[in-house]
Amino acid sequence: MNINYKKDGATLLVTLGGDIDHHTAQEISDGIARSFRHSHCKNIVIDFSGVNFMDSSGIGMLIGRYKETEIFGGALAAVSVSSELMKIFRISGLNKIIDCYDNARLALSALRGE
């Protein structure tokens, strides 16, 4: 699992690569939570363009990050969610609490209020 972080104003952009399952979810959760705390950001954008697979372990991981952004009055957004991943977003209701964008530029613009 590859995780890259980039700060853009009040938003932490997280780019994930690989599979999100029970084996990797904890590492991703811990990594994003730690970077988010240190970043002093209020929003998180997760770029899924490099994610090949996600099961329900990803749902718990995303709800955890959503709650953290909520504490700071921020938002969690998702980028490049494939049709396969979107099925899981819809079944779990994640799509109702996480805005999805085609690319990172659009997500970052929206969170800047542009």
Partner 1 sequence: MKNRFEIEFSALSQNEAFARLCISAFLLPLDPTVNEMSDIKTAVSEAVTNSIIHGYEGIGGTVHMSAETDENIVYIEIRDKGRGIEDIEAARKPLFTTKPDCERSGMGFTIMEAFMDKITVVSEKDKGTKVTMTKKLRG
Shortest approach of partner 1 to residue 84 CB, angstroms? 4
Nearer Cβ to partner 1 (47/68): 68
Cα-trace Rg, the chain: 13
Helix ranges (DSSP H) in the chain = 22-39, 56-71, 83-92, 94-97, 104-111
Nearer Cβ to partner 1 (22/105): 22
CA-to-CA dists, residue 54 to 15, 42, 47, 111, angstroms: 14, 25, 13, 25
Nearer Cβ to partner 1 (21/99): 21
Shortest approach of partner 1 to residue 26 CB, angstroms? 8
Nearer Cβ to partner 1 (29/43): 29
Binding site for partner 1 (CB under 8 A): 19, 21-23, 25-26, 29, 53, 55-57, 59-61, 63-64, 83-84, 87-88, 91-92
Closest CA to 53 of 28, 23, 21: 21
Shortest approach of partner 1 to residue 103 CB, angstroms? 21
Query: Do 44 and 69 contact (CB within 8 A), yes or no?
Result: yes
